[in-house]
A and B are shown apart, each in its own frame.
Chain A
Amino acid sequence: MTELALTGFLGLSAALVGIGIFGILTRRNFILLLISVEIAMNAAILNFVYFAAFPSGTHGLSGQAITVVLIGFAATEVAVGLAIVLALNRLKGTINVARATELKL
């Protein structure tokens, strides 16, 4: 892979992580918030894939292995998030983050 190609790929993951973090900070709907988390997480996962394919280092296969582990981990995290949002919905009848305001900020 050439230097130019790597720069392009890193630009893609930088954009993804930016979109994801922006979403986490601005979305008020919990489901959209979870999707933003996934987008940002995929940026990190993509980075591991590029660097594993990048020829000049000693990166080897560990990048691919980490990718598989991280995909599994991301699914776990979303499952826990959904469990919390279910409890929230049952108690308050909303999944809007901004309406859960019992604790003052």
Chain B
Amino acid sequence: MTFSSFAAPFAPEIVLLAGTLLIFALDVLKVRRIEITGGIAVAATLAGIALVVADLGFAPLAFLATIPAAQIDALPAAGAAPLYAVTSLGLVFQAIFLLAAFFVALGSTSRPSDERGASIFFGLLLLATLGMLLVAIASDLIFLLLAIEVTSIASYLMVAYTRTDARGVEAAMKFFIIGALSTVLSFFGASLLFGAYGTTNLYLIRAAGTAVGYPTLVLLGYGFLFAGLAFKVTLVPFHAWAVDVYDGAPHDVSAFLAGGTKKMGIFAFFLVFLGPVLAVDAVGQSGYGLFGGSLALGPSFQLALGVIAVLTMSVGNALALLQKEMKRMLAYSSISQAGYMMIGITIGSAPALGGATLQVLAHALMKTGAFLVVSAVAALGVGPLIEDYRGLGTRRPLLGAAFALMLLSLAGVPLTIGFVSKFVLFSAAVRAQGWFLWLAVAGLLNSAISVFYYARVLKAMYFDPSPVPDPALAGAVVGGAGPPALPVGGLGYGRAAAIALIAGLIVLFGIDPQLVLGPIQAAAYHFVAAGA
């Protein structure tokens, strides 16, 4: 194998790594203007999107494809234990991660151009995205967990990147403690699975199914892994940290955490738990005392995952109803959306995984967009409470309309991607028969509840009178000594472009879902076929 054929599948990762190193090198040389560092981040993520989409078979960009089509979704040779394998579902997830990172980078270029620590923020953004891309091609448990840690460690630091904002540093501390706990649980679970299976390769683990002599080790291993990964995806009861961290982090970082890094955990769930979910039963051989015995894994795993999914969406929604602050409300809504995504892995069929992937794409767009709007609105001088948004829709019609569109999409209103993704996901649950039907019922009820709190924001924006004096009208020019007003009504080009692009994609995919649904369903089919 030549070096170029080894490196070819890693083209997007290499671009991101080069961007990270370039930004950090420029930082040492004291070139720290946001136009330069932000420009590098935007260019690197955009190049990454082009490379990944080309590998997915998007014809106009075919000349950029670096991975031979035969290598995608190829099963490893019998007995081989590759560390990474390119799957088309992994490529879809890479595209989603890069899209979220691109929008966050684009939106962040509108921050003050001499902001302290900005180059650190952009460098860490690319580094965290690099870790997420590695998660999407992992086929080994340790490779997967280390890739997750690349992202986690970069994101702890991103939350505290200003170093002077007490709320940000406090959020980083909480994030670090919970992250460290989750890491320890994941690695402990992985070590037990290594003991039971004699390998950490996910293909070999899936092939072995549950035909190992140590069901207790398998069960404990998956239990610890579940707890560790559940922290990353903010599943109830492992969700409490997310609200504080999203609330305390700088707005653009919250956008990346909610829209980007959380989705990495969903794909990790797909990789790790598809095997046990599809395994119908297991009979352990005795002879190892404490670790012998027998166990039927598949149905019990599905039941446990299903219960957690319903709990997550219900608790997230119930608490979102009670919030007065915009970011905390969005954080709880993010938790409940993670519950919807878990329906996919609970069922484990190709349509369900496809629906969950579509939901991940939808949520990445909607939540990144919503947090970028919060960031833009905060830059205009509007407060953090929902009631501070009074009259925004009439005073700032375009920004208000974009935010309203994102909230309607989160609520699942037709003609938006949020409706399509929920429709595909819930119909997969209905088609799966059995008690999975109740997952669809729970999802539909929760969607109905969620309309209440999104509508509350819409009511504040469009039907409540504006506060006087109105900060949203004052723009960034508060007093004579402040920074000059940014273009596009105080938003700045980058933020306005990012919000407009996201709103456009939400409507485009809502009107013509086949643009994304076809490739995603095909990718999910290949993924499940390789796992069975």
- Complex CA–CA separation, A40 to B525 (angstroms): 39
Q: Beyond A30-B173, A54-B195, A80-B156, list 16 extra A-B contacts (CB 8 Å).
A: A17-B188, A24-B180, A24-B184, A40-B184, A43-B184, A43-B188, A47-B188, A57-B195, A66-B142, A73-B146, A76-B153, A77-B149, A85-B173, A87-B172, A102-B166, A103-B244
User: For this complex, into which size category does the number of interface residues on chain B fall?
Assistant: 35 or more
With a CB–CB cut-off of 8 A, which chain B residues contact A21?
A: 181, 184-185
Where chain B touches its partner, the secondary structure class is: helix
CA distance A90 to B160 in the complex (A): 13
Question: Which 9 residue pairs spanning A and B have beta carbons closest together?
Answer: A47-B191, A57-B198, A44-B187, A51-B195, A40-B184, A58-B198, A44-B188, A100-B170, A103-B244
B176 adjacent to chain A (CB < 8 Å): yes
Known: A81-B176, A92-B166. A62 touches B156 (CB 8 A): no
The distance in angstroms between the C-alpha atoms of A48 and B187, with both chains bound, is 10
User: Which B residues from 151 to 208 make CB contacts under 8 A with A?
Assistant: 153, 156-157, 160, 163-164, 166-167, 169-174, 176-177, 180-181, 183-185, 187-188, 190-192, 194-195, 198-200
Measured CB to CB, the closest approach of chain A to B257, in angstroms, equals: 14
Q: Is there contact, CB below 8 Å, between B167 and A20?
A: no
- B156 proximity list for chain A (CB < 8 A): 80, 84
Asked if residues B248 and A84 are in contact (CB atoms below 8 Å), the reply is no
Q: Which residue of B is nearest A37, CB measured?
A: B180
B80, CB-defined interface residue at 8 Å = no
Known: A41-B187, A76-B153, A92-B166. A24 touches B173 (CB 8 A): no
Q: Chain B, 198-223, contact with A by CB distance < 8 Å: what is the 0/1 string? A: 11100000000000000000000000
Render B134-149 as a binary contact track against A, CB cut-off 8 A, 1 for contact.
Answer: 0000000010001001
C-alpha gap A47/B170 in the complex (Å): 33
| Cα(A41)–Cα(B187), bound, Å | 8
| Smallest beta-carbon distance A47→chain B, Å | 3
In the complex, what residue of chain A is closest to B213 when comparing beta carbons? Answer: A56
Let me know if A31 is at the binding interface, CB within 8 A. no
Q: Which residues of A are found within 8 Å of B183, using beta-carbon distances?
A: 41, 77
Q: Give residues of chain A (56-74) contacting chain B, Cβ–Cβ below 8 Å.
A: 57-59, 62-63, 66, 69-70, 73
Say yes or no for B288: interface residue by CB 8 A criterion: yes
Question: Is B289 a contact partner of A3 (Cβ separation < 8 A)?
Answer: yes
Indicate if the CB atoms of A51 and B184 lie closer than 8 Å.
no
Question: In the complex, what distance in Å separates the CA atom of A87 from the CA atom of B180?
Answer: 18
**A interface residue count range (under 10 / 10 to 19 / 20 to 34 / 35 or more):** 35 or more
Chain B residue nearest in CB terms to A54:
B195
Contact of B172 among A33, A84, A105 (CB under 8 A): A84
> Could you give 16 example pairs across A and B, Cβ below 8 Å?
A13-B191, A24-B177, A37-B184, A40-B184, A44-B188, A44-B191, A48-B191, A51-B195, A57-B195, A69-B146, A80-B153, A81-B176, A87-B160, A91-B164, A105-B240, A105-B244
A80 to B, closest residue via Cβ:
B153
Q: Which residues of B contact A34 (CB under 8 A)?
A: 180
B153 & A48 in contact (Cβ 8 Å cutoff): no
Cα A90 to Cα B170 in complex, Å, equals 12
Contacts of B248 in A (CB 8 A): 102-103
Interchain nearest-CB distance for B159 vs A (Å): 9
Bound state CA distance, A100 and B170, in angstroms?
A: 6
CB distance from A61 to the nearest CB of B (A): 12
Set A40, A47, A76, A81: member contacting B194, Cβ < 8 A: A47
